[in-house]
Structure 1
Amino acid sequence: MSFYRTDLVRDSDRRAVRAALEGLDALAAPTVDRIVEAWSIMWTSSQFPDLEIVLVSPSVPYSLVAHTNDVVRIGRGLVAAGGTLIPPDFDRELLDEILFVHDIDKLVLFSPRTREVPSVRHCRCRWRTA
């Protein structure tokens, strides 16, 4: 069985993600679908019953969704302010996709019970040898 619970994603999860993420309407439908599916899979793979209670960090009272929406807004603003510094072939949609999913791993890194950021020393990652 996969760690990521793609089998648990429901249309209601997708609708909740679409409602939570701001600025999706500026993107092409296939891009929106990829972003929403990624968020939905990570959310259903997590221990969080509601998106609204996921914090950007257990020690920071700032929601992951609000943080993501702010990062997207700031990233778009920086590109717009860049003027001639931004090459004409710059893929703004790819940047948006990256901005929307940059922190979705936090949905599975933390749990509703986590009170502090987990230490890497205590991680039982496959790449650690001892």
Structure 2
Amino acid sequence: MDPQIRNFRDFLQLYNKITELCFSHCVDNFFSRETSREEAACLDKCVQKFTRVNQRIMNVYVEVQTGINERRVAEMEAQAQSQTLASTEQQQAIPTANQSDSFADSNTMPQIEVKTPQEADNAVR
């Protein structure tokens, strides 16, 4: 859903909720089309109170959400760093294995002389 449409829908739901709550709390006389002074004052106070509470809640939410986002960023950076470190270690381990293979092929290994059975008998005599 489009974020603008969702925000507008949320606003309308909140507006309808405030209207319903304040109306049911403040309006109790249906003998006149006009609201009385007491009803109008009650409606004003109700809407102001609801608005102030909503603003406070949103401020706390923004603070808490900011902290949560900072922790998530730190966790993601730590995870990326550990993956980079693991990748670097893995790349360094590969040349070491190749180097050990090259040592096996070099002349530093002792040479074993293989003789046929006849040569071995001649060497003993």
Greater Rg by CA: 2
Normalising by structure 1, we get a TM-score of 0.29
Normalising by structure 2, we get a TM-score of 0.30
Q: Which has the higher contact order (CA 8 A, sep 6+)?
A: 1
Structure with bigger strand share is: 1
